[in-house]
Each structure stands twice: as structure tokens, then as C-alpha cells.
Structure 1
Amino acid sequence: MNAPAPPPSSAPPPSSAPDPVSRPAPAPPPLRSRTVFAAAHVVADPRADTGPDGPAAVDWDATLAFRHHLWSHGLGVAEAMDTAQRGAGLDWGAATELIRRSAAEARTVGGLLACGAGTDQLSAHNASLADIRDAYEEQLDTVEAAGARPVLMASRQLAAAATGPEDYREVYGHLLRQTTRPAILHWLGPMFDPALAGYWGSADPDAATETLLALVADHPGKVDGVKISLLDPAREVRLRRRLPPAVRCYTGDDFHYPELIAGDGHGFSDALLGVFDPLAPLAAAAVRRLDTGDTAGFRAALDPTVALARHLFAAPTRHYKTGVVLLAWLAGHQPHFTMVGGLQSARSLPHLRRAHELADALGLFPDPDLAAHRMRSLLTVYGAEDT
């Protein structure tokens, strides 16, 4: 059984850290029974004169304020990952600054922080394995210099360059041997990114699982956990039962998270979820019920959120970020519905309207009238009031 483990400790601040943003952030009791990260979105700067192919323009104050919102509920922040539009509008230059600024903010409140390290600074998909190792190393150095837990993100370039499982074991093994703290390995399925099909060297998920487990076994003490985002709960359960006792299984399953986090007689999943960005208050309250041993209460609190999650993450799943940002705007966490790369247009207006309805039914909006007004305004601008 995967036993609860204390949250990772924070490293000393880097000497070049930016000045922290001063915000009140109550320190709630830590979540005890599960380690829970919300993968956080970024807030675009709507006044920037940029386009889909230009560098990301980020509203830093609003972006960092949202991290404080997540920490204020006792959740960890998973930073600069796919929810933050890595590889879909957020370039490595902006991600570097995001990691540095978020780490500085985390230290002001003792917030739990993990940050994505990948290879997205490589412009081509025909990079060599040596190029891929160097790119991973650069990003890993950035994350560790900031004092954050690294998440070794799935690499489109590695998926294109690898000829089989041994290439994955060589690249990841090279990185794990040099990390200064245990890393989280991320298995992101092709429903989230089609370029990642056949990750770990095989189109057969059973064979891919064996490669991943062998990598973990090869590097004892170097892997904090495995985040699995395949939307296949039975596969996740089988994998977590085979992990070493000290290695967490972080669910990335935005369709089946209540049952996976609740667990069974053999163990449970911790969580690193994009859907916990909009669900933060409800998710944290539910996990606190688990902290008291109230599994039924946890399920009663979280099960009703699944309809919204399944809607947000409906195919094409990779565009779930649009609904996440919409809900942040409707909830008053940001003053506009603009995304880096212009991805506010990635979902239809009926889809967005339904997201508002489902979230409103859950009581997610601090000011339901504001949310309704903003939703009506959006529909009016596009002539879709009656859709």
C-alpha cells in the first residue's frame, strides 16, 4: 500500500530570485492523507501586441495571485506543465520566468511546488538524443535552481527520436543520476498530446508500463512518483500496485480521480490534476474529509464534480485549458478571457456555456451573478446569446 508521505521540503532561495508579490495567504492545515497538486494555468496579458507564433505575454500579477489562491486551500502547485500551455502557447522563455517567480512566491507561504522540465526549447522534431539530453538538462537545472521539485515531462522530441525502450531508459537514466532531489516522471497519453503516441518506446501500453517500471527500479531513491495521465483507471491501479512503497502514483486521470484518490484495500493514488485548477476549493475540502478517515464523505463531495471534469476534458482533450481559463475568469480570478496563443477560441461557445452551467450547479463561483454577467457578455459579443 502506498503510505502517506510528508510533502517535499523547500530548498534555499536562489540569490537572483525576483521580489515576491505581497498578498495575504492564509496558512491552512496541510493535507495529511494525500499529496495533491493542482496543475495551474497562466493568465495572458490581453494588452500585449503579440500573436500565436510570438513569445507568450503573461500577466504576472494575476498569474501569481492564482497560485496563492491554490496554496491558500492547502493544495500544491504543479507549475509550467501542460495546463500552463507548455508547447501550446507558453514558450520556454516565459516558462523559465514562470518557474522562477512561482518559486519565489512559494517560499513566502511555504507552498508546495513542482515544476515541469522538458525539451520544448528545441524548435525541431528531428533533434538527436544528445540534443534532447542537453535540453532536458537545461530545464532541469532551471527547476532545481529555483528550489522546486522537478517533473520530467514527456518530450515530443524524444517520442520522435527514440527507436525503442532503451533510448528512453538511457535519456531518463542520465537525468535521474544527476537530480539533486527525487523527480516525478510524467506519462502523458496521446489523448492529451497526439505527438506522444508510443511513449516509453512502444505502442503497446503493457510494454510501455514495463519500461517505465524498469526505469523506476533502476534508480532507487531518485523517483518521488509517477504521474499517469492515460484516462485508464484499471491500468493506473495495476501500475501503482507494482511501484516501490516509497514511490507515489500521482493520478492525472481527470475522468476517474475520485475513485483513484479514495483508493482500495491495496493502496491509493495521490494527485496531480489540471481539473483541480478550477475545482481547488471543493477538492481541498474533499481531501480534508479523507484526512479524518471519511471516505464516504470524500466521495460525496467529489463525485458530483466529475460531470464538469468530463465536459472540460472532452475530445479533443488537449483543449481542456480553454474551459479551465473560462472558469477562472467567471470566478473572478482574472479580469478577462484571453489566453496565450489565442486558444480562447479552441472551444465552441455552446461548450463554454455548458461549462458555466455545470460549474454554477456545483457552487464554484464566489459571485454567481458576476459569473452569469460575464458569460452573457461573452455570448453577446459573438452573437450567440440563444445558443
Structure 2
Amino acid sequence: MTLEVLLPAGDGLERYRLVGEPVARGTYSPARSRLAFAAAHVVADPLGDNSPGAPAVIDWEHTLEFRRHLWSLGLSVAEAMDTAQRGMGLDWPATQELIRRSAAEAPDGRIAVGVGTDQLTAANRPTAGSDGPHELDAVIAAYEEQLGLAEEVGAQPILMASRALCAAAESPEDYRKVYDRLLGQSTRPVILHWLGSMFDPALDGYWGSDSLDTAADVVVDLIADNATKVDGIKVSLLDASREVALRNRLPEGVRLYTGDDFNYPALIKGDDDRYSDALLGIFAAIAPAAAAALKALDDGDLDTYDRVFAPTVPLARQIFSAPTYYYKTGIAFLAWLNGHQPGFSMVGGLQTGRSLPHLADTFRLADQAGVLTNPELAVQRFGQLLRVGGVDA
């Protein structure tokens, strides 16, 4: 059956005929050749007050069901990361419950959780309500609280890049003070997290320098001095050559988890000497394709690996286009089109972060990538979106 949908194009609408062949459904075992985490989003309760600035109200049934979907595909879950809207709608009380609920259901060894400092707010700065930075000791204490939760639930910690630390630190030595303390306390190897300013402008100059080369030196020295406490580092700079250069400098046994949602196929494939593992937000949007590609890689079938992943890259570049920090809207949009959540709503009202034409292009590329798993439902739901948006289709 040929499916068609009206999509915004230019100043009007065009009749778009779906051409994609959905990636075959199925269940998969975890990949043998790579570690692969999908950074999962949260589903907003459609009856909750999820307006900007309000505490997050989460639809727990669909949020957890989406994680079961990812696990069934052999992917591990990176929980409570920026994809889950940390610092963009998901507050710390909701984050704690998310981590506890998700960890309680996770298969052994297949969950890592974000450890950050987002419980620090203007209200609890030394001078309440001030715009000044928190003290480093307060940043450390916030990290320690969240690290304690990760260890309590038995999940691998991901030491997230911290806005509060970026604001408080005056030098690379301040970063070393914080990270050395945390790594010394962790009872298991952690994943470090380098998130570029395109994902969060408040992280500009992370690691104590505006120079990415200098920042990389700080990271390499930190890892070398704490190699037994670092499982790996997730790098989200959207710069493949810089990632490869850093990967080649890591001590033996320390992983590079690519967070490059533009160049992941080549980085995961790697070369004869080195490759990247994966910790990616885009894997939540293209989960069936990611699972199929990783299985092909396990089987040594590089042609299939390339064929499955290639059409997902234009989709990823669309979802993560500038302003990149609104990529979460595209992740939730595809989850809605594919029936993983009842409505296109997000905590913090972030569903307004992308325009209707942007979402139309996302629809086209998702179809061409074969990740509209239920095309009939996707067509029906995009028609609903047009009508709600005031388009007579």
C-alpha cells in the first residue's frame, strides 16, 4: 500500500509519498564488538503541568516502556543524561525518581546514569538568589550526592559536564580538584563526559580553557593519573578528527564513547587500531537501525553495516542541527510518531523547540532512513500535528 502525507514545503504543502522500508523489527542480544548506550528521553505526562519552569511531571509507564524497548534491541541505556532534558525541564527530584525506577528494571550491567550538579540553583547559592557562582566545595558536594545515588542503585556513573563547575572554576587546576576527588571516591570505574558548547552554551570553556587543544591535554592528564578509575570518556564535540586524536591518546583499556551524532558510523567502525564505543542520543531515535548495524558489525558484514547506518546520518544531522540543544524535541517527536508515547508533549514545554517545517523535514528523513516503524501511524499523527498547528490539510 502506498502511503502519502501532506508536508510543509516552502510556502505551502507538498504531497509526500513514503519511500522507506522500515528496518525489520526483532529482538537482539547486546553487541559483542562494541559497547552501545542509547541516551533515552523522558515522556511527559500529558495531564501534568509541564510548562516552562514547572517541576517535571513524567508519564512513568511510557518512559519505562521506552527503556524496555531499547533493552530488547540489545542496547544499554544511558539514563538521566542531557537527552532526558537535564537542565532543560527535568529537575533533580524527578531525576532521582527516574534513576531509581530505571535502574530497578535494567538488565545487569546495562545502565549508566548521569551524575551532575543540577540540584544547585540560584536559591541555594551562598547569597540566595544571586547570580554569582557556587563555591567549588558546593559543586563537589552536589556531585557526591548524585554519585551516591548512582552507587546506591548499582548503576555505572557518568560524571556529567557541570554548568556549576564551569561557572565556578577559574583554572584547569580547579577541574582537577573536583574530578580527582570524585574519582578517588567512586567504587567503580566511571565514564567522563565532555559536552561541547553547541549542546549547551553554558559549558563553553570546559576543562578550564577556550582552547580545545589545551582542554584535551587536561583531560588526557586527568585520565592518565586515574586510569584505573576511568572506564572511558564520552565526547560530544561534533568533530570526528578531534575525537580520533583524543582516542589515540587514551591509556590502554580506557574507552572513547562517541557522542558525535554527526559522524558516528565511521567512528564506531574505527580502523585497524582503534574504534569508538557509543553513547548517543541519536540511538534513541534510530534504535532498530542501530541494533541491526551493530549486529552486522559483530558478523563482520561491513556492507550491511554501512547500508543500514548511511541513511540515518542525514536524519541525525537534521535532529541535531543548530541550535543543537533542541535536539531533544526531534527525539520525542520520533518517539511519538512511532507510538512510544501518546502525545507530542515534553517536560518544560520543549515540544515548541522546533518549527513545523523542521519537523516535516525530520519526518521525510526518518522515512528514508527506515526508522518510521509504523508508517501508517506516523502519517496519521503528522496529520494531527498539522491540524493542531492550524494547517487545513
TM-score, normalized by length of structure 2?
0.89
Map of 2:87 onto structure 1: 87
Map of 1:381 onto structure 2: 388
Q: Distance in 1 between matches of 2:237 and 2:247?
A: 13
Q: Contact conserved, 1:376 with 1:385, CA < 8 A, in 2?
A: no
SS at match of 2:378: helix
Q: Distance in 2 between matches of 1:314 and 1:30?
A: 30
Q: Contact conserved, 1:249 with 1:270, CA < 8 A, in 2?
A: yes
How far is the alpha carbon of 1:138 from its aligned partner?
0.3
Counterpart residue type for residue 185 of structure 1: L
SS at match of 2:191: strand
Q: Distance in 2 between matches of 1:280 and 1:27?
A: 11
Q: Distance in 1 between matches of 2:45 and 2:325?
A: 22
Is 1:136 paired with 2:143?
A: yes
Is 1:357 paired with 2:364?
A: yes
How far is the alpha carbon of 1:303 from its aligned partner?
1.3
Q: Which of 288-297 and 244-253 deviates more? A: 288-297
Map of 1:123 onto structure 2: 121
Is 1:285 paired with 2:285?
A: no
SS at match of 2:283: coil
Q: Residues 50 and 306 from structure 1, CA distance in 2 versus in 1: closer, same or farther, beyond 3 angstroms?
A: closer
* Deviations, residues 141-180 of structure 1 (Å, cap 9, x unaligned): 0111110000000000111110110000110000000101
Q: Distance in 2 between matches of 1:280 and 1:44?
A: 20
* Alignment map for 1:1-387 (pairs within 5 Å): 28-106=28-106, 109-110=107-108, 112-124=110-122, 126-384=133-391
Unaligned runs of 5+ in 1: 1-25
Q: Residues 329 and 235 from structure 1, CA distance in 2 versus in 1: closer, same or farther, beyond 3 angstroms?
A: same
* Deviations, residues 291-349 of structure 1 (Å, cap 9, x unaligned): 11222321121011100000000000000000110000000011100000000001000
Q: Residues 177 and 240 from structure 1, CA distance in 2 versus in 1: closer, same or farther, beyond 3 angstroms?
A: same
How far is the alpha carbon of 1:266 from its aligned partner?
2.2
Q: Distance in 2 between matches of 1:271 and 1:185?
A: 13
Map of 1:19 onto structure 2: none
SS at match of 1:366: coil
Q: Which of 37-46 and 351-360 deviates more? A: 351-360
> What value does the CA root-mean-square deviation take over the aligned residues?
1.2
Structure 1 residue ranges (4+ consecutive) displaced by more than 6 angstroms after TM superposition = none
How far is the alpha carbon of 1:27 from its aligned partner?
6.9
Q: Contact conserved, 1:330 with 1:370, CA < 8 A, in 2?
A: yes
Select the structure of larger CA radius of gyration: 2
Q: Distance in 1 between matches of 2:319 and 2:27?
A: 30
How far is the alpha carbon of 1:385 from its aligned partner?
5.2
How far is the alpha carbon of 1:111 from its aligned partner?
6.0
Aligned length: 359
Q: Contact conserved, 2:28 with 2:291, CA < 8 A, in 1?
A: no
How far is the alpha carbon of 1:354 from its aligned partner?
1.1
**Identity rate of aligned residues, in percent?**
60
Q: Which of 290-299 and 177-186 deviates more? A: 290-299
Q: Contact conserved, 1:39 with 1:272, CA < 8 A, in 2?
A: yes
